[in-house]
Amino acid sequence: MKSIPSILLIIMIAILLCFAGCLQEQEPQTMTDTSREAMHRLLGEATGAIQATLSNLDASTSDAATALGTTGLSGPLADRVLNRLAGIHPAILSAVTFDQDGTVLSAEPEDAKVLIGQEIGYQEAVSGVLDTKEPLMSKLFPLAQGGYGVVIEFPVFSADGTFSGAVSTAFVPYDLIAPILENATGNTPYSFMVLQTDGRILYDPDPEEVGKETLNETLYADFPEIFDVMSQLSVDRSGHATYSFYDTGFGKIVRKECFWETVGLHGTEWRVMIIREIEKDRVSLS
């Protein structure tokens, strides 16, 4: 017959082994929770920084519109207002004024002066502010000076309230977003994407994806889950999803998890998405 101390020892060992097993089972969930907490924190910080930068561009364009109501839309004083506006952020390509017909009257910096005299009323963003006489932020579109960008536009009213035209700040979203998100993701396993609600990519760690439309690109045709995510993202200002896609560099297909939040101006919204790879689901390409 076994002694009582021996039986007690066996029972204690069994309890410890059971407890250790429970800990091992709980560890992945704890790691997942920790990762998600970190993702939410980084996402909040990133969206706050992007929104603050957009709001600063918006406020500066509004201030310029007020000043131009006094100086007029062209001439040395108008140029001074536009020069100050064009210099507030490195992502800005140009600051211009145009009249009620969409003709550019003044432009800064110096390399933007080629726009003076051009008719840009055909651009949706220009016609939008002229028709509504309300401020707006456009979606990504081809700029008259070349390349793609986004504009923030404000109507300009003279001192007596007469509508005279508008002021437009054109900037490259990638150049505005990249410094913020590259700083946020340093030394972390996470990455970011920023998209319009129509799925057009404004920022991605793979530069070749910037400007692509996820709902129309053949690159995404083999990943139907992405279309489901984009459909959800188009209507939900915040959310969570999982899907499969290539890792950065397109070497492997991996399982990914993402959360997103929203920034924007004047009814135009961008979805800011933070992403992590779920390593256990990594699969080599055949």
104-112: list long-range contacts, CB under 8 Å, 24+ apart.
105/73, 105/74, 105/78, 105/165, 106/73, 106/74, 106/75, 106/78, 106/79, 106/82, 107/82, 108/79, 108/82, 108/83, 109/83, 112/86, 112/145
Query: Is residue 169 scored above 50 in pLDDT?
Result: yes
Question: What integer pLDDT is reported at residue 250 of this predicted model?
Answer: 60
Tell me the CA distances in angstroms from 184 to 17, 99, 240, 241, 272, one per residue in order: 41, 41, 19, 21, 13
- The 10 Å Cβ neighbour count of residue 43 is 21
Question: What integer pLDDT is reported at residue 69 of this predicted model?
Answer: 97
Distance separating alpha carbons of residues 259 and 36, to the nearest angstrom: 9
Which 8-state DSSP code applies to residue 237? S
Distance separating alpha carbons of residues 90 and 171, to the nearest angstrom: 9
Query: Is residue 67 scored above 50 in pLDDT?
Result: yes
Confidence of residue 7 (pLDDT cuts 50, 70, 90): low
Confidence of residue 11 (pLDDT cuts 50, 70, 90): very low
* Highest mean pLDDT out of 141-150, 226-235, 254-263: 254-263
The domains located in the chain, with CATH, are 54-172 (3.30.450.20), 174-284 (3.30.450.20)
User: What tens digit of pLDDT does each residue of 117-131 get?
Assistant: 999 999 998 999 999
Question: What integer pLDDT is reported at residue 10 of this predicted model?
Answer: 45
Higher pLDDT, 191 or 145: 191
- Model pTM score: 0.83
Q: What percent of the chain has pLDDT over 90?
A: 63
Closest by CA position to 272, among listed 177, 170, 152, 179: 177
Three-class secondary structure of residue 125 per DSSP: helix
Residues linked to residue 253 through DSSP beta bridges, in sequence order: 246, 283
Question: What integer pLDDT is reported at residue 14 of this predicted model?
Answer: 47
